[in-house]
Amino acid sequence: MPPRSIPDRWLDYSPMGRQMEGTRFISFKVPLKVGICSNLPSEDSFTVPDMIQGISDQGGRLGLVIDLTFTTRYYNKQDIIKAGIKYEKIFTAGKEVPSDDVVQEFASIVHNFETENKDDSLIGVHCTHGVNRTGYLVCRYLIDYKHFTAEKAIAAFNKARGHDLERENYLEHLQQRSALVQSGEVKPPKLPLPRKQGPTRERDQPPSRERRYAPYDQRRRDRHRSGGSSSQQEQPSAPCLHSIMGWTLGVVLLGYSLYNHWYMQGVMEEWIQEHMTQIFSSRCSIT
């Protein structure tokens, strides 16, 4: 995707929803740099200042932004920090259910913010469209720690965002999780959780696209680079194998050459000794 292009289907979603009833969450799609929005009609533009102003127009005050996108290219986080808003980054791959590392990181950030800030300032959460990854993690937090059922959490999110959480694997997983928590079969980890210094943290670069779907809970790299769940060893790359094969072949050829050299040297010595003996014997007989 060209660096100045808007994300796929970004224009299909409204900029932001409203505060979720009974929570401090508000969800929105990713705001873009002014340069990316420069070719858009003014009504389609959505930048960091637009986001902050939009929440203010609703009578809210943003205290924290949790960025779930899998890149840092869409906007400058300093635009949020300079506005006096806390910023947290959790690199979250799309389409697949977020890993336990991501879920726990999200829960820790939300819990710590709510504990340290009793002023009802809002927690803004966004992925690319502010719907699927955002909806899953918000609903998962409400199910695990706020005694919401999956139905109640999903309905509240859909109503507030104005777009429905649509990925079937996310919806099914939330339903399954809710059943386990409600039955007492599973107890979510107690908060606060230790902060992990892994790939989910803002200071890290996101995993490469080739590795993004390895277990992070799942990611081969870091992993999830995160002290995550993958224990697989990286296999040597093709160039590395070629180098090893080349060196091995070279050593074999060198050994073969030395063997031939030493062998032929021995043959020549035997030939010289034999013929010198014959010559010496012939001279002796003549004498």
User: What is the secondary structure of 173-197 as a DSSP string?
Assistant: HHHHHHHHHHHTS--PPPSSPPPP-
Residue 284 annotated in active site: no
Task: Identify the CA nearest to 197 among candidates 229, 221, 226.
Answer: 226
Q: Quick check: 207 pLDDT over 70?
A: no
pLDDT tens digits for range 69-120: 999 999 999 999 999 999 999 999 999 999 999 999 999 999 999 999 988 8
- What are the structure tokens assigned to 233, written together? 């060893």
Place of tokens 């969800």: 27
Distance between CA atoms of residues 104 and 81, nearest Å: 23
User: DSSP letter string over 198-218?
Assistant: STTSTTSPPPPTTTTTS-TTS
Mean pLDDT score of the chain: 82
Residue 127 annotated in active site: yes
| Conformational region of residue 196, where left means phi above 0, alpha means psi within -120 to 50, and beta covers everything else | beta
Question: What pLDDT does residue 258 have?
Answer: 66
- Break the chain into its structural domains and give their ranges: 10-183, 236-287
Q: Which residues of 259-276 are buried (b: 16+ CB within 10 A; e: fewer)?
A: eeeeeeeeeeeeeeeeee
Helix (H) or strand (E) holding 47: none
Distance between CA atoms of residues 197 and 203, nearest Å: 9
pLDDT band of residue 273 (cuts 50, 70, 90) is low
Q: Quick check: 210 pLDDT over 60?
A: no
Q: Which position among 24, 133, 177, 212 bears the catalytic label?
A: 133
Q: Which position among 127, 139, 140, 219 bears the catalytic label?
A: 127
CB 27 within 8 A of CB 138: yes
Q: Quick check: 172 pLDDT over 60?
A: yes
Q: What's the distance, CA 148 to chain centroid?
A: 28
pLDDT band of residue 249 (cuts 50, 70, 90) is confident
Q: Would you give the DSSP letter of residue 6?
A: P
Distance between CA atoms of residues 85 and 281, nearest Å: 107
User: Measured between alpha carbons, how far is residue 99 from residues 22, 90, 170, 200, 217 in Å?
Assistant: 26, 11, 12, 10, 5
Distance between CA atoms of residues 164 and 174, nearest Å: 14
Distance between CA atoms of residues 141 and 153, nearest Å: 9
- Out of 164-173, 177-186, 195-204, 262-271, least confident range: 195-204
Distance between CA atoms of residues 236 and 245, nearest Å: 12
pLDDT band of residue 127 (cuts 50, 70, 90) is very high
- Whole-model pTM: value is 0.70
- Out of 43-57, 185-199, 211-225, 257-271, least confident range: 211-225
Helix (H) or strand (E) holding 236: none
Distance between CA atoms of residues 37 and 45, nearest Å: 5
Q: Quick check: 37 pLDDT over 90?
A: yes
Q: Quick check: 254 pLDDT over 50?
A: yes
Q: Quick check: 248 pLDDT over 90?
A: no
Q: Quick check: 205 pLDDT over 60?
A: no
pLDDT band of residue 20 (cuts 50, 70, 90) is very high
User: DSSP letter string over 54-115?
Assistant: HHHHTT--EEEEEE--S-S-SS-THHHHTTT-EEEE----SSSPPPHHHHHHHHHHHHHHHH
Query: Which of 6-20, 199-213, 247-261 is the most confident on average?
Result: 6-20
Report the pLDDT averaged over residues 252-275. Answer: 62
> In CATH terms, is domain 10-183 a member of 3.60.40.10?
no
Question: What pLDDT does residue 230 have?
Answer: 38
pLDDT band of residue 260 (cuts 50, 70, 90) is low
- Out of 31-35, 165-169, 196-200, least confident range: 196-200
Q: What are φ and ψ of residue 225, in 5° steps?
A: 55, 10
CB 133 within 8 A of CB 258: no
